[in-house]
Amino acid sequence: MQTDPNATTEERTAEASLRPARLSEYHGQPHIQEVLATAIGAARARGEVLGHQLFYGPPGLGKTTLSHIIANEMGAEVRITSGPILRTPNDLVGMIATLRAGDVFFIDEIHRLPMITEEVLYSVMEDFAIDVMVGKGSEKKSIRMPVPRITVVGATTRLGSVTEPLRDRFQIVHRLDYYDVQTLVRILHRSASTIHSTLDQYAAMEIAGRCRRTPRIANRLLMRCRDVAFMRQEPRESDAGAWVASNPAIRHEDVLQTMKMLRVDELGLEEMDREMMRAMLRDYNGGPVGLKTMAALIGEPVNTVEDAMEPYLMRMGLLARTPRGRELTEAGRAHIS
């Protein structure tokens, strides 16, 4: 279940409601929690703005959530944007103008920031100022305007694509890794409680094993399992005469039914993953296959394969990256046979 850019407003609202608001509520990434707790505590004690932070790792592991947590812990607001949106320096200036001292400015996909905008961001991060051009013709000149002292938080799935000058301006660089099953189970129980449902341990373990070790996907699967459990219930008649159903207890059999319906297998692979692997085996004897060819096999953009599919397949030992291209491993061949 990949990140869906076309997710409905209801789905996005549901995802946001499941986000922890404080570090104490956040499960997983203990090394990042320790570093952030120390940095935030020290900044608050000194009455300073938190230093700029850069998070990198596969999608859905908590980069946006951590930006909200930083803002909450610092008693500030967060403004969210992304690299492709900041096409010109004026776009950046317009957003900076809405911020107050101490606020968090979160830039997702920061590796896609245009160079002309990135260069303006340097002075925002280092000098808390922006150089703007005023006047026309021979009277045109540059004026340095102060901006609020803010915390810039960047997020990327491709650290290598972030330019070195930009990367060096972040005080701390955090690497987010996939979550273990035990941590995901804790996250799922918390999320179930948030949506006023219950989740038995076998159901939680089943979802945790099929969510690609990713909290965002775990929560989305949980919502779909709740739908199945909801439809399984016997409705009862309300005082007004309408038939209603209460928030359900999600059982192991509900999860299995949901996974069958969504075609998510025991390793968390979706039909798109299996289709690509089958095509690699059928047309190229398992590889080596170039990245663009892999994307063409399933009609998806290259970045979808590279950012959302390949890292997990490699982590599960189903796909290997070689100098000549990607190859299915013996485990990968066996899984789709």
Strand partners, 212: none
Catalytic residue among 19, 64, 151, 214: 64
Q: Count helices and strands (H / E) in the chain.
A: 15, 13
- Looking at residue 332, what is its pLDDT? 94
User: pLDDT tens, 2-15?
Assistant: 444 444 455 555 66
First to last CA, the chain: 22
277 is written with which tokens? 């692997």
Catalytic residue among 19, 79, 216, 326: 216
CA-CA distance, 56 to 179, in Å (whole number)? 14
Q: Which of 176, 133, 241 is nearest to 36 (CA)?
A: 176
Give the residue carrying structure tokens 């189970």: 185
Q: Which of 277, 57, 94 is nearest to 179 (CA)?
A: 57
Catalytic residue among 65, 117, 156, 157: 157
Q: Which of 108, 101, 42 is nearest to 75 (CA)?
A: 101
In the chain, the domains with their CATH numbers are 29-175 (3.40.50.300), 181-262 (1.10.8.60), 271-336 (1.10.10.10)
Report the share of the chain in percent with pLDDT over 70. 91
216 included as an active-site residue: yes
64 included as an active-site residue: yes
Higher pLDDT, 218 or 242: 218
253 is written with which tokens? 């059999």
> Model-level pTM?
0.85
User: pLDDT tens, 73-119?
Assistant: 999 999 999 999 999 988 998 899 899 999 999 999 999 999 999 99
141 included as an active-site residue: no
Over the Cα atoms of the chain, what is R_g?
Answer: 23
Looking only at the bridges linking them, the beta strands covering 151-156 and 104-108 are parallel
CB 293 within 8 A of CB 328: no
Catalytic residue among 63, 79, 169, 226: 63
Catalytic residue among 19, 65, 79, 108: 108
- Looking at residue 223, what is its pLDDT? 93
